[in-house]
């Protein structure tokens, strides 16, 4: 089974994908993958999320495909059954964590306070999503957390853009960021997969 450290270290940006049209799932994921974004988070925000995970896993066996917006026991089980290799949640509950452990899929839970981070650290989790990143204090907050909690590693998500992504990636406690800027709606609507691939390539090339 993949672990979160290897997943989060694979590329600097994890695209947070919302599938509105099921026929877009595979070509969109393929464009992102060809651009160098080989870890893909497909959210469960629409009815097409689970089907998209299945389709993308089949089409891109070398990609790492996870389910995002996982908020319940049912979400965890269905995401596992669809082939998700990791799970991402905006927050965490004891039941969510227990279910993820039961089914054996790594969970990246969201936090934005020291207390939340410490509660999950007590449970053995050292890889966390910092969400919503910009609204919760951004780079300054993560710098503050690194002092008392240096063992934690984060994927900041929420308000990340090409303008600030490198600032987050420069932090020692940040392994990657999550974002949507390479998923331009107009390009997706017009099936401009070359354009999506170019945006993905720029994101994959981000350095400190």
Q: Judge residue 204's burial from the number of C-beta atoms within 10 Å of its C-beta, 0-12 exposed, 13-18 middle, 19 or more buried.
A: middle
Pick the catalytic residue from 20, 23, 41, 134. 41
Q: What are the tokens at 121?
A: 């650290």
Read off the DSSP letter of residue 61: T
SS3 35: coil
The answer to whether the beta carbons of residues 149 and 184 sit under 8 Å apart is no
Q: Give 120's Cβ-side CA count (13 Å radius).
A: 27
Pick the catalytic residue: 47, 116, 129, 185? 129
**41 part of the active site:** yes
Q: Which residues carry out catalysis?
A: 41, 129
């Amino acid at each position: 089974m993949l672990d979160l450290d290897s997943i989060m270290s694979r590329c600097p940006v994890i695209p947070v994908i919302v599938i509105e049209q099921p026929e877009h799932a595979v070509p969109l994921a393929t464009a992102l993958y060809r651009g160098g974004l080989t870890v893909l988070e497909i959210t469960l925000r629409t009815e097409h999320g689970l089907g998209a995970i299945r389709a993308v896993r089949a089409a891109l066996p070398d990609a790492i495909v996870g389910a995002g917006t996982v908020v319940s026991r049912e979400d965890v089980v269905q995401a596992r059954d669809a082939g998700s290799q990791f799970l991402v949640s905006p927050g965490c509950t004891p039941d969510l964590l227990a279910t993820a452990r039961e089914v054996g899929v790594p969970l990246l839970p969201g936090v934005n306070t020291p207390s939340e981070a410490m509660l999950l650290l007590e449970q053995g989790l050292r890889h966390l999503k910092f969400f919503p990143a910009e609204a919760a204090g951004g780079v300054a907050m993560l710098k503050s957390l690194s002092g008392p909690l240096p063992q934690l590693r984060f994927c900041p998500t929420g308000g990340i853009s090409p303008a600030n992504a490198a600032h987050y990636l420069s932090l020692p406690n940040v392994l990657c960021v999550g974002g949507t800027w390479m998923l331009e709606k107009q390009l997706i609507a017009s099936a401009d997969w070359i354009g999506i691939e170019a945006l993905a390539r720029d994101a994959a090339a981000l350095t400190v």
